Amino acid sequence: MLRIIVLGSAAGGGFPQWNANSEACRRARRGEVPARSQSSLAVTGDGRHWFLLNASPDLRQQINDNAALHPTDGVRGSPIAGVVLTNADVDHVAGLLTLREAQPLTLYGTERVLGALAANPIFEVLDRAIVERVAMPLGREFAAVAPGGGDAGLVIEAFAVPGKVARYLEDPAAGAGFGSRDGDTIGLKVAAAASGAGESFFYIPGCAAMTRQLADRLRGAALVFFDGTLFRDDEMIARGEGAKTGARMGHISMSGPDGAIAAFAELGVKRRVFIHVNNTNPALLEDTPERRQVADAGWEVAWDGMEIAL
C-alpha cells in the first residue's frame, strides 16, 4: 500500500506570500482561510521509509507538522530515507539545507538537476559521505534505496515533461526556451514495490503543456497530482501582481482550451488533484467561482496535511 501526505500545496512563496497584500493573502493572515506551505509530498510504500518528493523551503515546519516524519528511535534518526527532485527550482531544493544534520539519506535527481546542485557549494553541507546523490534515468523504473542499501518499498520512474529551466539558471541568450533541456523538469510515477502494476500515482508539480506522449502516459491513472499554479495564463498580470504569464514561467493554466482541466477531460484519470497552487490563483479559495469550476470538472485542490492511501 502507498501512503501519501501532502506536506505543502502552494507554489513558490507559499500562501500567504511574505510580500503579497491581496485580499486572499490578508484573509489567510487573519486565519479566515487555510495558509499553505510550499509544495512537497511525502510517500511510503512500506510504512517505515519515507521519501520526500521535492524539499521545499518550509520543510522544517512540514516535518514538525506531520508525526509520520518525526524521529522515533535513539537520540538521532529520521524515517526520511530520501528526497526525489522534479526540478532545480528554489521552492523544490532549498529545503535540502534543512537536512544537513549528518543524517544518512539518498538524494535523487536528473543529471541536469544534480549538476545545478553541484555547481552551488552551499549544498555541500549535505556530506557526500553520508548523503548519496543518485542520477535518475529518464523513462526507466528504479527501486528507491534506503540508507545502507536496503529495500525501501518504492519503485519510481522519472520522465521529462514540458517545462523550463529554473529561473536562476536561465540563459537569456539561448532564445525562447532560455536554455531549457530534457531533465530540467520531470514528472514522477511512484509505485509500491510489492504491488506490481497496481498501486501507483503520478506527481507532476510543474508542467508547461499537455503533449500526446504525456496524455498517453497518464490515461486511466488512479491518481495524478498536477501543476495548478495559475487559473489563467495572464492571471498575475491582470491582478497587477507580476509581469509574467504562466507560459513564460513554464506552467500550464487550470482553465482555457489548452489548460489542464480541458486536457484531462478525456483521459479517464480517476482522481485529479491540483498542487503547487500560486497565491494569486482564486481556486485556492473555496468560495470563488473558479473553485466551483474546478470542482465541477472533477478536480480537487490539495491542502497541507491531505492524506491519500492507495
C-alpha cell at 12: 513558490
Q: Are strands 186-192 and 200-204 parallel, antiparallel or unpaired?
A: antiparallel
> Please, which residues bridge with residue 134 across strands?
108
In this prediction, residue 81 carries a pLDDT of: 96
C-alpha cell at 275: 498542487
Q: What is the pTM of this model?
A: 0.95
In this prediction, residue 99 carries a pLDDT of: 96
Domains of the chain by residue range:
3-309
Determine the Cα–Cα distance for residues 13 and 275; give it in Å rounded to an integer.
Answer: 14
In the chain, the amino acid numbered 160 is: A
In this prediction, residue 251 carries a pLDDT of: 86
In this prediction, residue 224 carries a pLDDT of: 98
In this prediction, residue 74 carries a pLDDT of: 83
In this prediction, residue 199 carries a pLDDT of: 86
CATH 3.20.20.70 applies to domain 3-309:
no
Q: Which parts of the chain register pLDDT below 50? A: 197
